[in-house]
Amino acid sequence: MFDVLSDAFSRLPAPPREVVIATAVVALLAVLLRPAWRVMRNFITIAHEGGHALAAVLSGRRLSGIRLHSDTSGLTLSKGRPNGLGMVVTGLAGYITPSLLGLGAAAILGAGRITILLWLLLILLAAMLVMIRNVYGVVSVVAAGAIIFGVSWFGSPQVQGAFAYAFSWFMLLGGVRAVFELQQSRFRRQAPNSDADQIGRLTRVPAIIFVAFFVVVSLASLAFGTRLMLGPVSDLISG
């Protein structure tokens, strides 16, 4: 156990820049290609609903359960006042969580703590699994956890590094696409009960303001995350 903990807390060298760029390309393809996105979006949904759940708990609400569906939608239920700050914070958390998770992962990778990042993800998934209330949700979270565990336990440092960077890129890029899909659905009047619309009804503020907030957070996270993983643009060009 001591050896395991020592390996987990040890600093691993960052992959070569070419590998980091390659993982970014792979993540971008997973986000842009519809067949791949249809599958990979489940990981964005896990982060999205996890964000709702964490915000509900931190704002004093009582978490009832989480459901993940095969169409990549999800639902997080909590008990408490039907209005007020807690509901607003809970509603705001969903769409920004994938991007913030990707940014946090980029910061941890910048410190060389690749294995720690993978273990933290496993802890978050285990905590979320306790609150899952449907079979598809359990299968999705367990599958995600099994992949991360396999990489962290059996993968070489090079494999762990490539996987961790690909994860961070995917969360950053996928977070942006999820927000733009939200507005696309709203524009087509297919999402009258979206997070933004629900918060808008609670606060009497136009829902588009909250969509704009999601866009700003996701794009800013992508920009800062890119800088953390690749360095300044000038360095990238000179490299």
pLDDT of residue 10: 62
User: What is the Cβ-side half-sphere exposure of residue 184, based on CA atoms within 13 angstroms?
Assistant: 6
pLDDT of residue 5: 47
Distances from the Cα of 155 to the Cαs of 5, 105, 110, 137, 150, in angstroms? 16, 18, 20, 26, 7
CA distance 61 to 52: 11
pLDDT of residue 15: 86
pLDDT of residue 165: 97
CA distance 229 to 43: 21
pLDDT of residue 1: 46
pLDDT of residue 84: 86
Q: Give the type of residue at 197.
A: D
pLDDT of residue 14: 78
Digit-by-digit pLDDT tens for the chain (239 residues) are: 445 445 555 666 778 999 999 999 999 999 999 999 999 999 999 999 999 999 999 999 999 999 999 999 999 999 988 888 999 999 999 999 999 999 999 999 988 888 889 999 999 999 999 999 999 999 999 999 999 999 988 988 899 999 999 999 999 999 999 999 999 999 998 888 999 999 999 999 999 999 999 999 999 999 999 999 987 544 544 45
CA distance 110 to 114: 9
pLDDT of residue 11: 65
166: which residues sit within 8 A by CB, 6+ positions away?
23, 26, 27
- The pTM assigned to this predicted structure is 0.91
Which of 23, 36, 14 minimizes the C-alpha distance to 117?
14
CA distance 44 to 37: 10
Tokens of 135: 């079979």
pLDDT of residue 58: 94
